[in-house]
Structure 1
Amino acid sequence: MRISTNQLFDRSIKSVLDNQGDISDIQQQLSSGKKLLRPSDDPVGAAKVVRLTEELDQIEQFKRNNDLLKSSLDQEEAVLRNIKSSMDKARQLMVQAGNGIYGDIDREAIAIEVGQIRDEVFDLMNSRNANGEYIFSGYQTGTPAFIYDPTATGNKYQYQGDDGVNKIQVSENVNLQANSNGKEVFEDVLARLKTSITASTATSASSTITQQAAFDQFHKDNYDLLTPANNDYRITVLPGGNQVQIDNIGTGATVGTVGYTSGEPFTFKGIEFNITGGPGNTVDFTLQPPEKENFAEILNDFYIALNDDNMTEKQFREELNDALVGTDNGLVSLANANSGLGGRLNVASSVYVSNLDLEITNKQARSDIEDVDYAEAVSELSKQETALQAAQATFARVTGLSLFDYI
């Protein structure tokens, strides 16, 4: 095989340039700390690095979402804690107002404080976050959760939001509720369950709920939402005049028999009846449908009762019992909301730790693929420098073999 002078020169130059290129690559690896300078260096590894980088970017976003979620939940927790404190204080005032030795002046003083608590609770139910969004308005974050309408015939404190709850994604498979809507926490508070006498053939008849828990259970077990007639009951004074029988008018079923003395009270399922009448007389009563009130409305109704000088003591006691039961149910609603909030905070913290672990694992996997091994790279640099020196020395020797050197 014959090799021309041009071929000798070309091969020698190519050898030198290749070695210089290899040295340049190693120098870039050492300066950048990255083993993969271009996808062609390791196509499979480069694809893995892209995927791992995307996953790490996603985890970083989940961490930011988690921080945002915790901030939102912490703010809501603070608001609920303040509302609970206010409702606890209001309940104490209700108990004080029920003290038999308190007169009109005392009740007026209590009314002033109850009014201030009502306004405070109303403001807290319309709390806003740092972005100016209403926390408890559901999806309607630009609308106040509650408004006060003094001209309304029913509830004057009205919910303006919706049933929506905003959720934040904190991991690939976990979305957590970032807020509670005011309807669920403050609006849907069950009011005191009641009954009323609707008809009577007796000389006189009255009823009062004296054992609320027993009546609530009776109402829960027997109230028929679909068939209103099944909520009507009839008390009949039996022959002999020493017993009464209670029947469900709608179903015709007998639900109880109680000892009876005309003009003296008797109790049935937590309801105290006082009937004056003889055998054959009847008294009809009905279970009233469950109603719901919001926190501000409960306090406002009690505030009005405290300021009503024309209200009889019996009427005031009814209003007081309404307020106490409504407040207790409201406190239960607050406790449930706090429990749900605390559960979401615990899940958020757990997911955050999981994301940190996953981030460390992915970073390690990406580092194993793309990061340079400095000891190996320095050794390779020395090797390539030696190869370049050999190529340069060979080039000088080969280019000196021309016939012109012998002429």
Structure 2
Amino acid sequence: MRISTSQFYDQNIQTMDNQQSQLGTYYQQLSSGTALTTPADNPLGAAQAVQLTMVSATYTQYQTNQNTALSSLQLEDKTLSSVTSTMQAITSEIVRAGDGTLNDSDRASIAQALQGYRNQLLNLANTSDGAGNYLFSGFQATTQPFTTNPAGGVNYQGDNGIREAQVADTRQIATNDSGSSVFLKVPATGTSPVAASSVTNTGTGKIGAPSITNPAIATNGDNYTITFGGTPAAPTYTVTDNTVVPATTTAATAFNASTPIALGSGMQVAITGAPAPGDTFSVTPATAPQNSSVFSTLDSIISALQQPASNNPTATATLENALTTGMSRFQNSLTNVTVVQASVGGREQELQALQTTTQTNVTQTQSDLSSLTGVDMVSAITKFEQTQSALQAAQQTFVKIQGMSLFQYIGN
């Protein structure tokens, strides 16, 4: 087969063009460190690289969410630790207030100390992060959750919203707890019913904390009223179960201060002293609204301690009943804060485990992406030099060959 001079030139020029193009590709790979400079270099590899890049970006976002969520939970955990310490100090003051040797002035001093602790709790309940978002306001992050009303009580301005962060493909985690769930409510499990006396009582009857007689049937949801009748010399009482509809009342029973009163649901409560006819006492669930707000509980204790009681048996009984009721309510609130803090700690541990897993996934994804798109520098340099040498040889050969002609030999 004869090859014309033009074909010979075209083939050699095309070969050198291809080598020059390949040399440029190798040069770009060496300078960028990327094997896939264009999708055309490796269409399948390019598609896989796009997918891995998207996965890597997703993991990076999860890492950001995890760090933000963990920071928020750590701040809440620290705040709840301060709340717990303050509440433990309050508990000590309430116990001290029950010392029968104290006088009105001593109790007034304790009331003043409790007022200071109450203010500390209110400040902690209004804790915010560095960005001005309140920890315990629910979805109303920029609204101060707790404010003081004109009557001196506390109003909750937040909501029950729980902010969540997407921290993994199938996992969202709560990054806050509402102020209502922390400071205004208590769970039925792990808390105790609350015994209380009526503020209108005129006798010296004192109610103790309810106790369990039959755990199999005892609940924390029953609501009882104990009403005294008869005469001062022969008092009687009835027990009304307000939980059922209609309410049921037992027959009048002779009162004996040394015998606890059975409540009919696996519980009993002791009443000592001398209740007057018409006096009433109650045993209500820990979850009842009047029992669950830590601020209203403190307000009632402070108010009771500010009332004169020295040398007044009725006032002394009223004070002791208020302290018993307040202590039960306050211990239930402390239990609730402990439960919430345990939940926060659990979420922190989960996030820390997720951070480790996500970092492992990020490292593996980046390694896969690097293997797919990265350049083997030794191999690339070798190919670059080989192609460069081949191109130089082709150029030199082409220069020599294009000068060859039969007429040159004839002339010689």
Does 2:265 match 1:266?
no
TM-score (norm: length of structure 1) = 0.82
Aligned counterpart, 1:209:
207
Aligned counterpart, 1:200:
none
Does 2:76 match 1:76?
yes
Does 2:377 match 1:374?
yes
Match of 1:170, SS state, is strand
- Deviation readout 1:358-399 (Å, 9 max, x if unpaired): 111111111111111122212212321232133113312331
What is the letter of the counterpart of residue 70 of structure 1?
L
2-structure distance, mates of 1:274, 1:3: 128
Aligned counterpart, 2:352:
349
Does 2:160 match 1:163?
yes
Farther off after superposition, 394-403 or 359-368: 394-403
Match of 1:194, SS state, is strand
2-structure distance, mates of 1:322, 1:216: 22
- Across the two proteins, how many residue pairs are aligned to each other? 384
Q: CA deviation at 1:27?
A: 1.8
- Deviation readout 1:16-66 (Å, 9 max, x if unpaired): 121121112112222222111211111111111111111111111211211
Aligned sequence identity (%): 26
TM-score (norm: length of structure 2) = 0.81
Q: CA deviation at 1:214?
A: 3.7
Structure 1 pair 151–315 and aligned structure 2 pair: CA distance change class (3 A): same
What is the letter of the counterpart of residue 306 of structure 1?
L
- Deviation readout 1:288-345 (Å, 9 max, x if unpaired): 5633332222222222222223681111112111221122111101110111011000
Unpaired runs of 5+ residues, structure 2, are 262-267
2-structure distance, mates of 1:360, 1:137: 38
What is the letter of the counterpart of residue 292 of structure 1?
N
Does 2:115 match 1:118?
no
What is the letter of the counterpart of residue 346 of structure 2?
G
1-structure distance, mates of 2:306, 2:213: 29
Aligned counterpart, 2:317:
314
Aligned counterpart, 1:228:
none
Contact 2:241 2:249 in 1 (8 A): yes
Match of 1:176, SS state, is strand
1-structure distance, mates of 2:339, 2:280: 38
Aligned counterpart, 1:95:
95
Aligned counterpart, 2:336:
333
Does 2:400 match 1:397?
yes
Unpaired runs of 5+ residues, structure 1, are 198-203, 225-230
- Deviation readout 1:145-172 (Å, 9 max, x if unpaired): 11111337xxx21211111111111222
Contact 1:79 1:124 in 2 (8 A): yes
What is the letter of the counterpart of residue 180 of structure 2?
K
Structure 1 pair 287–300 and aligned structure 2 pair: CA distance change class (3 A): closer
Aligned counterpart, 1:143:
143
Contact 2:204 2:275 in 1 (8 A): no
Contact 1:207 1:271 in 2 (8 A): no
2-structure distance, mates of 1:76, 1:185: 11
What is the letter of the counterpart of residue 135 of structure 1?
L
Match of 1:168, SS state, is strand
Q: CA deviation at 1:67?
A: 1.3
2-structure distance, mates of 1:110, 1:232: 31
Does 2:304 match 1:305?
yes
2-structure distance, mates of 1:245, 1:297: 29
Q: CA deviation at 1:242?
A: 13
What is the letter of the counterpart of residue 84 of structure 1?
T
Q: CA deviation at 1:402?
A: 3.5
Match of 2:165, SS state, is strand
Contact 2:66 2:167 in 1 (8 A): yes
Match of 2:259, SS state, is strand
1-structure distance, mates of 2:107, 2:236: 42
Aligned counterpart, 2:35:
35
